[in-house]
Chains A and B, each alone.
Chain A
Amino acid sequence: AAGVIQSPRHLIKEKRETATLKCYPIPRHDTVYWYQQGPGQDPQFLISFYEKMQSDKGSIPDRFSAQQFSDYHSELNMSSLELGDSALYFCASSQKPGQGYEQYFGPGTRLTVT
């Protein structure tokens, strides 16, 4: 079965640079969620989208922005990167309604800021 695709899988950036993370949800899934997992920490919710509209917002820094496109894929844009942004960034997708709105996680993008 098709899963959530995230690209790139690994990304190395320097401080103050920008990064763009991409997420391609499972086919027919229309909702996308972004989570950030710092080293040794639990995943923290950043933001979610449905039909290109923001559904919910968590602890996302102002330096970050995200959007969902008409094909339901989503991009997380991160500017003025800081060392503390080094983390594993997960994208998850779900279907509205369907499968109990279950969120299926992608493999994550590991961002390292040097």
Chain B
Amino acid sequence: DSGVTQTPKHLITATGQRVTLRCSPRSGDLSVYWYQQSLDQGLQFLIQYYNGEERAKGNILERFSAQQFPDLHSELNLSSLELGDSALYFCASSVAAGLEQFFGPGTRLTVL
């Protein structure tokens, strides 16, 4: 158990819908990262937050957004969902940028 928690574990929804994935970092970690794992794209970095501020963006679609709250938990919002958004979404955290990242259990999103 890495200490990073993610909810929900599984999410099944329909095309065009909007969902929110939640992540709580390890105690004391200020940096939160989101990654997407799919069969065709592999593991891809989406976005990084540090102490509430966005710090780096990867291949994140405009339909996706994220934020980190004052209590350091983070949410990833996915809207206008498409079949291709079906994937495993991981959250990771680290004490500070540039240090080892610890991964949560992931949220498996299925878009029907």
Co-complex (A, B): no
